[in-house]
Structure 1
């Protein structure tokens, strides 16, 4: 790499972890000439700084090339797959089973840069016009599933939907789950029954004891995950027209966070 280094660049040890997971070029045809490490560096620069694609520094590959890979990997579920693979590696490094026994669910409401078609609404509880990120994490705060929806979507419905999606895509991740930690917004017998029928897990509601700010035990893990999101300017708002691109950005951010921890 002959260009100047950016703080978002992958280190040699981080790239050594990520490189084998990058989808190979198609067989036949013209050989791949694009530097995939630089493509990943450009994507992570974009996510961290929040710059527009066409405003990427000129020493990266062309922005059209970078975006093409970013979009293609979203289309084929590569970002979500990378998230799962790196999470398993990190849990193993920390001496944990790849199958969590406790998970947490919560939603984060974020503003959009304008009305985003039908996937847009007003969250009356948090007084935010925009979208809602329904997130499910393990006890380390590592992402299992995220679903982006309109801001006025019900949290219990979204959480049940996210669990159902995860159960369909990766049932092994939920086989050993015994408890799901939630706040009072997810309280209710119907939600608890739905969770039990899907994954035979107990719903544990963490309730505040007063109206003052309070760090709830076991619930802070998902709040910390939202804090990680907020360190990346591309996630400060929902800038995407398509919700699947919003979800891809979150999975991509998590891959960067986990690579840094894996390389230590």
Structure 2
């Protein structure tokens, strides 16, 4: 059931991107508590309505100025988007949901292993950190992701597409080690073990205490191949680009790109915790879901 009540008698229209009552029940306890003792005018728009507007932009891919008028003014939605990103609200909500999903799946809140990969994506004209990926022949940006073994986001870093995987990998591994000291093993593809930078694996072990294990593709197999461990992060990339705002990088600043990725994962995790089902849309995702189910039963 969708309820877009702002808290008064005014009822707003509902869209497919609007939060259901069940999903909002998961998110509401994690939103910042307003301190009325600080004074000032009462807020005109509630947190749920603001999130509905932000998720409308994320799912539809529209410009902020094209938010429907029966939601709220675009500048109010964008202001709260920037405020929650700057004060750490989005990070806190995201991390809390990830811990809940891991615990619900029978895992410890602190992960011990992770998967690293990068994805080059086209961007709009101009903006911060825009370059050309010679390998993928793509002009835009690169998303460096580290996820846990469930595919949940641990660390994200958006750079110019011209940044090589090995260079970006070193930076994001440092961020991972600083935030998640419990992680000891990271899987990655062969691009992170190029002989030109011979010391990446040794550097990760010596400086960060991380074992970087390379999962290589078989030269005998042509076309699509589901690779052990690496399919987890590939599935996460698939989750992200279902959101039209993330199918191409439209953000002017890389920090906003990272925030949009976190918001996509917040919506996904809140939906899971609300008990709503996820429909697999293609063969690779169904195969990934089947493998995850098998691995979960074996671990149990």
The Cα of 1:198 is off from its aligned counterpart by 4.2
CA distance in 2, matches of 1:198, 1:212: 37
CA distance in 2, matches of 1:56, 1:99: 38
More moved, 133-142 vs 9-18: 9-18
Counterparts in 2 of 1:3-22, with a 5 A limit? 3-22=12-31
Q: Does residue 227 of structure 1 match 2:238?
A: yes
Q: Deviations over 1:23-45 (max 9, x none)?
A: 23353222323221111111111
Indicate the residue corresponding to 1:24 in structure 2: 33
The Cα of 1:178 is off from its aligned counterpart by 3.0
CA distance in 1, matches of 2:50, 2:186: 37
CA distance in 2, matches of 1:8, 1:164: 35
TM-score (normalised: structure 2): 0.82
Indicate the residue corresponding to 2:191 in structure 1: 185
The Cα of 1:21 is off from its aligned counterpart by 1.6
Instruction: Could you tell me which runs of 5 or more consecutive residues in structure 1 were left unpaired when the two chains were aligned.
Output: none
Indicate the residue corresponding to 1:209 in structure 2: 218
Contact residue 157 and residue 172 of structure 2 kept, 8 A: yes
Select which of 104, 111, 116 maps to 1:105.
116
Q: Secondary structure at the match of 2:199?
A: helix
Select which of 174, 195, 219 maps to 2:181.
174
Q: Secondary structure at the match of 1:174?
A: coil
Between structure 1 and structure 2, the one with the greater Rg is: 2
Of the two structures, which has the highest relative contact order with CA contacts closer than 8 Å and spacing of 6 or more? 1
Contact residue 46 and residue 52 of structure 1 kept, 8 A: yes
TM-score (normalised: structure 1): 0.93
Instruction: Could you tell me which runs of 5 or more consecutive residues in structure 2 were left unpaired when the two chains were aligned.
Output: 6-10, 276-300
More moved, 177-186 vs 134-143: 177-186
Number of aligned residues: 259
CA distance in 2, matches of 1:163, 1:84: 18
Indicate the residue corresponding to 1:255 in structure 2: 266
Q: Secondary structure at the match of 2:56?
A: helix
Q: Does residue 40 of structure 1 match 2:51?
A: yes
Q: Deviations over 1:111-147 (max 9, x none)?
A: 1111335x11111111111110111100011000110
Contact residue 131 and residue 161 of structure 2 kept, 8 A: yes
Q: Secondary structure at the match of 1:95?
A: coil
CA distance in 2, matches of 1:251, 1:148: 12
Q: Does residue 138 of structure 1 match 2:138?
A: no
Contact residue 112 and residue 239 of structure 1 kept, 8 A: yes
CA distance in 2, matches of 1:166, 1:28: 39
Counterparts in 2 of 1:87-166, with a 5 A limit? 87-117=98-128, 119-166=129-176
CA distance in 2, matches of 1:184, 1:106: 10
More moved, 68-77 vs 230-239: 68-77
Q: Secondary structure at the match of 2:202?
A: helix
CA distance in 1, matches of 2:248, 2:55: 17
Contact residue 188 and residue 215 of structure 2 kept, 8 A: yes
The Cα of 1:190 is off from its aligned counterpart by 1.5
Q: Does residue 66 of structure 1 match 2:77?
A: yes
